[in-house]
């Protein structure tokens, strides 16, 4: 009898085929208050991180952008305003609750016309190759079971000259700051989660999944392995978050 292949779900090891379902449960649970919780957890700084990611993406009018793990659409909303009516922004998420929340939010804001929505698994994207000028994934890669597959898919759907950006929690660069951050993540975060979404476990998973996510150099190596060139990364807030960028040349 062969042993079942496992992967991490926070600090736990779970069968590979179960991870997507468990991640879905986490996001189903927090979807309704996702934005509020993000604001509380990051003291609103997540908006600045996303703004920086958009600036690094350098998207132009008329371009096609794919935003994976789009959540409630913070990045897609900005891209939509830049690419204009000649461009296209596809907002994608594996979680139906999050995607529908995002769609509702953007429609209510009047962002229609160049925005499309796709319920899709980042590991197997339902798009033709070499279609997008820019692919982004914001705070989503660490929840993907096979990260390398997702990065390869990002590479596949990019047109030559296109770039991919991965905005994700990462590893603080200073040891002292790292200790403070751990204290916050494992003590304050679950309490906030319990207060706001009545779900401490989901936020404990969040803190654990961040620790299990590859560090800056490892992730850059993964991007290079997938074929990306000129890969670099930008640490924000002392490395709490990093933006990795690579080009398909």
Q: Which of residues 149-188 bind another protein (CB under 8 A)?
A: 173
| Residue burial 155-173, b: 16+ Cβ < 10 Å; e: rest | bbbbeeebbbbbbbbbbbe
For residue 122, what are the contacts with CB-CB under 8 A and spacing of at least 6? 68, 69, 92, 94, 137, 140, 141, 144, 150, 153, 154
Which contacts of 177-183 are long-range, i.e. CB under 8 A and separated by 24 or more positions?
177/238, 177/239, 181/240
Residue 57 binds another protein (CB under 8 A): yes
Site track for another protein across 197-216, x = CB under 8 A: -------------------x
Residue 54 binds another protein (CB under 8 A): yes
Our CB check for another protein shows the closer of 149 and 214 to be 214
* Interface region with another protein, contact rule CB under 8 A, candidates 123-131, 136-144, 184-192, 226-234: 226-234
Q: Least distance to another protein from the beta carbon of 207, Å?
A: 23
* Interface region with another protein, contact rule CB under 8 A, candidates 24-32, 56-64, 138-146, 186-194: 56-64
Find the binder of another protein among 16, 36, 55, 212 (CB under 8 A).
Answer: 55
Q: Is 96 left (phi over 0), alpha (psi -120 to 50) or beta?
A: alpha
Q: Least distance to another protein from the beta carbon of 150, Å?
A: 23
Q: Considering only CA atoms, which of 37, 73, 69, 75 is closest in space to residue 202?
A: 37
Task: Quote the tokens at residue 60.
Answer: 């132009």
Our CB check for another protein shows the closer of 229 and 232 to be 232
* Interface region with another protein, contact rule CB under 8 A, candidates 16-24, 52-60, 67-75, 205-213: 52-60
* Rounded Cα distance, 216 and 194, in Å: 30
* DSSP for residue 72: T
Q: Which of residues 101-130 bind another protein (CB under 8 A)?
A: 109-111
Residue 234 binds another protein (CB under 8 A): yes
Q: In what helix (H) or strand (E) does residue 36 lie, and over which residues does it extend? A: helix 34-42
Cα 212-69-44 angle, rounded to 5 deg: 80
The radius of gyration of the chain from alpha carbons, rounded to an integer in Å, stands at 17
Residue 81 binds another protein (CB under 8 A): yes
Residue 59 binds another protein (CB under 8 A): yes
β-pairing, 132-138 with 115-119?
A: unpaired
Q: Least distance to another protein from the beta carbon of 116, Å?
A: 17
Our CB check for another protein shows the closer of 17 and 215 to be 215
CB 109 within 8 A of CB 137: no
Q: Least distance to another protein from the beta carbon of 124, Å?
A: 29
Residues that bind another protein (CB under 8 A): 47-48, 51-52, 54-62, 77-78, 80-84, 87, 109-111, 173, 216, 232-236, 238
């Amino acid at each position: 009898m062969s042993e079942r292949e496992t992967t991490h779900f926070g600090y736990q090891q779970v069968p590979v085929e179960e991870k997507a379902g468990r991640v879905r449960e986490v996001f189903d649970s927090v979807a309704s208050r996702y934005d509020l919780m993000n604001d509380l957890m990051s003291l609103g700084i997540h908006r600045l991180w996303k703004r920086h990611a958009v600036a690094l993406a350098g998207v132009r009018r008329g371009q096609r952008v794919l935003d994976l793990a789009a959540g409630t659409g913070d990045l897609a909303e900005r891209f939509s305003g830049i690419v204009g009516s000649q461009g296209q922004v596809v907002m994608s998420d594996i979680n139906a609750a999050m995607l529908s929340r995002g769609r509702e939010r953007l429609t209510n804001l009047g962002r229609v016309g160049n925005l499309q929505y796709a319920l899709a698994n980042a590991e197997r994207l339902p798009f033709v190759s070499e279609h997008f000028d820019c692919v982004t994934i914001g705070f989503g890669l660490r929840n993907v079971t096979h990260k390398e597959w997702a990065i390869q898919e990002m590479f596949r759907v990019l047109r030559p000259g296109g770039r991919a950006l991965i905005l994700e929690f990462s590893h603080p660069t200073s040891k002292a700051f790292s200790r403070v951050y751990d204290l916050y993540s494992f003590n304050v975060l679950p309490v906030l989660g319990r207060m706001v979404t009545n779900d401490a476990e989901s936020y404990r998973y969040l803190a654990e999944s961040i620790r299990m996510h590859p560090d800056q150099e490892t992730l850059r190596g993964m991007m290079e392995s997938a074929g990306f060139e000129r890969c670099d990364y930008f640490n924000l807030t002392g490395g709490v978050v990093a933006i990795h960028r690579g080009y398909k040349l």
